[in-house]
């Protein structure tokens, strides 16, 4: 029988001969052993197998990486931070209470760890990846690679294989942490690749508030960050997780994040993004146990030529689960934002309630916001709603405010602050709200 010739149109990126790739080698994989070593090896294989995503892929259709100088990034060496500007004092300040329960600062090639002694006594682990690898591998094993699959993408694989920095948080059963935990990934330097991995496990009935911030000054040539965030909120546990992204405007920023919430657990997930040159962020919420709830609130404000792409997914995998997402963004200059959201309701996940909304205000002619909501529902008896809007600053409200003596610029700021107010209302921390407020003031000029 003669074999019929098939024409295959592949949707995966074609590997062009001589296509650019990162200059990293296997020797860059941080030393590790046992479980962690095999995870990293698996991730490295996945990294080598995958090419850089291009705009033929649906998830990357609006985010073009052709200008990414992939081969120019180096990993920071041990102690590299000594050659870089130190972190501004204000970043050390607590954002969500008067004081921290613990604080970790991650520098290029170093870290500084601080944890309240009483928390340590209760069995709370809050340390950097390297220390945890030596002292608490059993905790790492409970979560590493369990919510984010390194096969998911080039950058997930890269971060899995090469992460040299990161945070481990473990809160034992029924332990309630009153004081918030705070970590900062401080990534100064040009032509550097900062690669991070955050692992958080809240055991049954545990309770914590955690703020993680990524920041750097703006440098004259490009830098890179790839990160994985893996979080498990076990049965009846409750986590408030705040992520602030204020990378310098030279940073290409990629992250894969997924939080799994078990039966009766709850999550309050807040994003604030004002920095980076380009960001592609995949944030996924898995409501895995009956009655799990998750709220995702996002704030972004872009200017100049910034490009921020947030890809969110609310996965209802069990009955009686509730998710509620609100992302709001403002855009200036020639910046661009993309929000692409999906509510997925698995078969059998009855009585779920999913909501997603994305609102954008475009402040300049040259800026552009894309808003793409999506629903995929395989269960009956669910309630899922979504909404997406892209609007401009209207003349009438501005005139109204000016007629009360408020100058043009202040009037614009007042309207923009009003636009963001519903997001501010969702943020239970004065310090975080104040940070966003400052960002608005600064971006509005």
Binding site for other proteins (CB under 8 A): 395-397, 399-408, 410-411, 414-415, 417-422
Nearer to other proteins, 107 or 327 (CB): 327
Nearer to other proteins, 79 or 428 (CB): 428
Q: Least Å distance between CB 410 and other proteins?
A: 6
Q: Least Å distance between CB 165 and other proteins?
A: 38
Distance CA 300, CA 281 (A): 12
Q: Which helix (H) or strand (E) holds 48?
A: helix 34-49
Q: Least Å distance between CB 444 and other proteins?
A: 14
Distance CA 366, CA 136 (A): 50
Nearer to other proteins, 296 or 440 (CB): 440
Q: Least Å distance between CB 383 and other proteins?
A: 24
Rg (CA), the chain: 22
Distance CA 316, CA 284 (A): 11
Q: Which helix (H) or strand (E) holds 220?
A: none
416 touches 362 (CB < 8 A): no
Q: Token pair of 76, please?
A: 């920071």
Q: Token pair of 15, please?
A: 């590997």
Nearer to other proteins, 165 or 297 (CB): 297
CB atoms within 10 A of CB 261: 31
Nearer to other proteins, 170 or 419 (CB): 419
The DSSP bridge partners found for residue 196 are 165, 227
Nearer to other proteins, 224 or 420 (CB): 420
226 touches 259 (CB < 8 A): no
Nearer to other proteins, 405 or 445 (CB): 405
Q: Least Å distance between CB 395 and other proteins?
A: 7
Strands of 117-190, DSSP E: 125-128, 165-171, 181-186
Q: Least Å distance between CB 325 and other proteins?
A: 19
Signed CA dihedral, 29, 32, 38, 39: sign only: negative
Task: Enumerate residues 6+ apart whose C-beta is below 8 A from 432.
Answer: 95, 96, 211, 242, 244, 270, 272
Q: Least Å distance between CB 391 and other proteins?
A: 11
């Amino acid at each position: 029988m003669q074999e019929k010739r098939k024409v295959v149109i592949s949707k995966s990126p074609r590997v062009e001969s001589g296509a650019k790739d990162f200059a990293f080698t296997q020797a860059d994989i941080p030393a590790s052993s046992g479980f962690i070593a095999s995870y990293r090896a698996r991730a490295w294989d996945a990294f080598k197998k995958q090419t850089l995503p291009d705009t033929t892929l649906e998830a990357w259709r609006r985010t073009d990486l052709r200008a990414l100088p992939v081969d120019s990034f180096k990993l920071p060496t041990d102690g590299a931070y000594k050659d870089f500007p130190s972190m501004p004092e204000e970043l050390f300040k607590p954002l969500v209470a008067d004081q921290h329960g613990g604080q970790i600062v991650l520098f290029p090639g170093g870290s500084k760890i601080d944890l309240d002694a009483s928390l340590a006594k209760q069995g709370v682990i809050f340390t950097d990846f390297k220390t945890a690898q030596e002292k608490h591998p059993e905790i790492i094993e409970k979560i590493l690679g369990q919510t984010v699959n390194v096969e998911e993408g080039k950058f997930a694989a890269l971060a899995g294989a090469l992460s040299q920095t990161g945070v481990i948080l473990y809160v034992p059963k029924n332990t309630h942490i009153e004081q918030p935990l705070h970590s900062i990934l401080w990534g100064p330097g040009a032509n550097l690749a900062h690669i991070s991995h955050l692992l958080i496990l809240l055991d049954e009935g545990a309770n914590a508030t955690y703020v993680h911030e990524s920041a750097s000054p703006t440098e004259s040539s490009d830098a890179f960050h790839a990160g994985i965030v893996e979080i498990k909120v076990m049965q009846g546990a409750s986590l408030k997780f705040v992520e602030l992204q204020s990378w310098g405007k030279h940073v290409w920023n990629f992250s894969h994040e997924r939080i799994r919430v078990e039966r009766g657990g709850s999550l309050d997930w807040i994003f604030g993004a004002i920095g980076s040159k380009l960001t592609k962020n995949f944030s996924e919420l898995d409501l895995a146990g009956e009655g799990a709830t998750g709220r995702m609130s996002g704030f972004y404000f872009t200017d100049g030529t910034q490009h921020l792409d947030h890809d969110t997914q609310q996965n209802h995998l069990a009955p009686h689960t509730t998710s509620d997402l609100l992302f709001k963004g403002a855009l200036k200059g020639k910046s661009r934002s993309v929000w692409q959201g999906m509510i997925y309701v698995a078969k059998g996940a009855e009585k779920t309630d999913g909501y997603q909304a994305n609102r954008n205000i475009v402040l300049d002619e040259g800026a552009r916001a894309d808003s793409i909501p999506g629903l995929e529902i395989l269960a009956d008896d669910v309630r899922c709603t979504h909404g997406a809007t892209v609007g401009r600053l209207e003349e009438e409200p501005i005139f109204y405010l000016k007629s009360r003596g408020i100058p043009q610029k202040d009037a614009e700021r007042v309207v923009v602050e009003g636009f963001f107010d519903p997001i501010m209302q969702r943020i239970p921390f004065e310090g975080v709200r104040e940070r966003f407020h400052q960002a608005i003031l600064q971006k509005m000029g």
